[in-house]
Structure 1
Amino acid sequence: MATPNEPPRLPKFFEGSLPQEHSTKWAKCWEDKWTPWDRGGPSMALHDLLKENPNGVIPLPSETSPKTCLVPGCGRGYDVVLLSLFGYDVYGLDVSSQALSAAKENAEKALTEGLYETEGGKRGAINWTCQDFFAEDWKDVQGTFDLIFDYTFFCALPPPLRPAWAKKMKTLLSPGGRLVCLEFPSDKKPSEPGPPWAAPPGEYLAYLSNPGAQPRTDEYGGVIAEEMESLAPGGLKRLVHIKPGRTHASGMQDGRVQDYISVWAHANE
């Protein structure tokens, strides 16, 4: 049981907040230096996916073909650093300026002390941008991205924002680009409060297959699988859907991986 001086659990802290108020609540967590979701390091599942690159599904950067990448809700920027070491020019986006200050410190420490190995031919550039993911126009960021990585961002959004999330992802993804989602928590029930909200594979499939549309949901906001629509011409198609060999402890249960990792592309490719 929490002590009187202990911050409330995330679901309790967000209870009763309107979707449009959540950005302010996340920023408040950073102001209070309360980040119980922090993973403490980069995603092992993402590292392994890029390293193994099954069937060459991921467009990796090279000296003659640079690639850009976006990590929305980047927090302390662990995955931003990891992706830069694979050669991507990465943008870490967060709504909290305190989060990005922590990310800059973390990145400087990681790169100065050589905490991670450079996987690509050379390290890509790192950029930080403080703004709302859903804003119509972003300052200091233009164009689309060759790779987008979503981990604990989709599940941090209340279900009413998921159609807008999918539409924005489609808009931000370059032709030939890939959206990589580390699906968490895949085993949580929609009836359980969030954040994190339940994020089983069917949720990603329903929203990304028809970006911007609202699929039929139950009383808790969970997608009704039997009534899911097929892939729309303007949607994103799933190219890869696997359980990673390694993931964070929060995505494990009784020693077994519960997370999934999925790779998405524009339906017309």
Structure 2
Amino acid sequence: MTEFLSADYWNERYLNNASQWDLGMVSPPLKKYIDQLLNKNLTILIPGAGNSYEAIYLMEQGFTNITVIDIAPTVIQLLKEKYPHQKSIQFIETDFFDWEGQYDLIIEQTFFCALDPLLRGNYVHHMASLLKPKGKLVGLLFNRTFEGGPPFGGDLQSYQDLFLPNFKFETIEPCHNSIAPRANSELFFIAVRKI
């Protein structure tokens, strides 16, 4: 297990509020995507969800079958305490690579960029295994590089090369409604699992 995948590493970051990519709200591009979804019974997974702004927004919009997983026990415990009576979201402490299930939709929000780049091939393969046939992986990827990491960046070509064996892109393009600090540095994508 790499340092960037350990529960201790991420737990420490959350305890010290050291996740600089926490927006404090649902990401505008994902909010726009969620707002056009009509089927409130979709099975939805959000891995490495941190403070789960997207999950809470989904719940508030009437979605009924949301699963949030995170490796950091502090995050999951705080979410369970904050939302003790809701029935739409399962908050589960687990390692993404150990998780099994079948989903219509997986939302990617700063999980990919948090993983050691050596795990990216495993990420893509496991994401495909968690989706139903023609299920969708939707989210944001950084279209830039960083000194050190995490976060770890990338570019359009490297993402296309990485994802295409398992996914077909419906779209992957520069994001036009990012928050100001991320302007011109994000790609919005919709990737459909190949059968």
TM value normalised by structure 1: 0.64
Which stretch of structure 1 is more off in the superposition, 175-184 or 85-94?
85-94
- Post-superposition offset of 1:106: 5.3
Change (3 A) 1:260 1:29: same
Take 1:80 and 1:243, find their aligned partners in 2: how far apart are those partners?
A: 24
Take 1:101 and 1:248, find their aligned partners in 2: how far apart are those partners?
A: 28
Question: Which structure exhibits the higher relative contact order, with contacts defined as CA atoms closer than 8 Å and separated by 6 or more residues?
Answer: 2
- Post-superposition offset of 1:22: 3.2
Map residues 175-194 of structure 1 onto 2, 5 A cutoff. 175-184=133-142, 186-188=143-145, 192-194=147-149
Take 2:108 and 2:115, find their aligned partners in 1: how far apart are those partners?
A: 12
Take 1:91 and 1:196, find their aligned partners in 2: how far apart are those partners?
A: 23
2:53 maps to 78
Change (3 A) 1:199 1:39: same
Map residues 62-101 of structure 1 onto 2, 5 A cutoff. 62=40, 66-84=41-59, 85=61, 87-101=63-77
2:2 maps to 19
SS of aligned partner of 2:90: strand
- The runs of at least 4 consecutive aligned structure 1 residues that moved more than 4 Å come to 105-108
Do 1:77 and 1:107's aligned partners in 2 also have CA atoms closer than 8 Å? Answer: no
Take 1:30 and 1:258, find their aligned partners in 2: how far apart are those partners?
A: 24
Q: Report the count of equivalent residues.
A: 192
Largest Rg, 1 or 2: 1
- Post-superposition offset of 1:30: 2.3
Superposition CA RMSD, Å = 2.4
Return the match for 1:39 from 23, 29, 33: 23
SS of aligned partner of 1:134: helix
- Post-superposition offset of 1:105: 5.0
Change (3 A) 1:74 1:47: same
Do 2:170 and 2:190's aligned partners in 1 also have CA atoms closer than 8 Å? Answer: yes
Take 2:71 and 2:82, find their aligned partners in 1: how far apart are those partners?
A: 17
Take 1:99 and 1:25, find their aligned partners in 2: how far apart are those partners?
A: 12
The alignment-based identity, stated in percent, is: 27
Do 2:171 and 2:191's aligned partners in 1 also have CA atoms closer than 8 Å? Answer: yes
Do 2:103 and 2:131's aligned partners in 1 also have CA atoms closer than 8 Å? Answer: yes
Which stretches in structure 1 are left out of the alignment for 5+ residues? 1-17, 53-57, 112-123, 211-234
Which stretch of structure 1 is more off in the superposition, 168-177 or 31-40?
31-40
Change (3 A) 1:238 1:86: farther
Which stretches in structure 2 are left out of the alignment for 5+ residues? none
What letter matches 2:105 in structure 1?
A: L
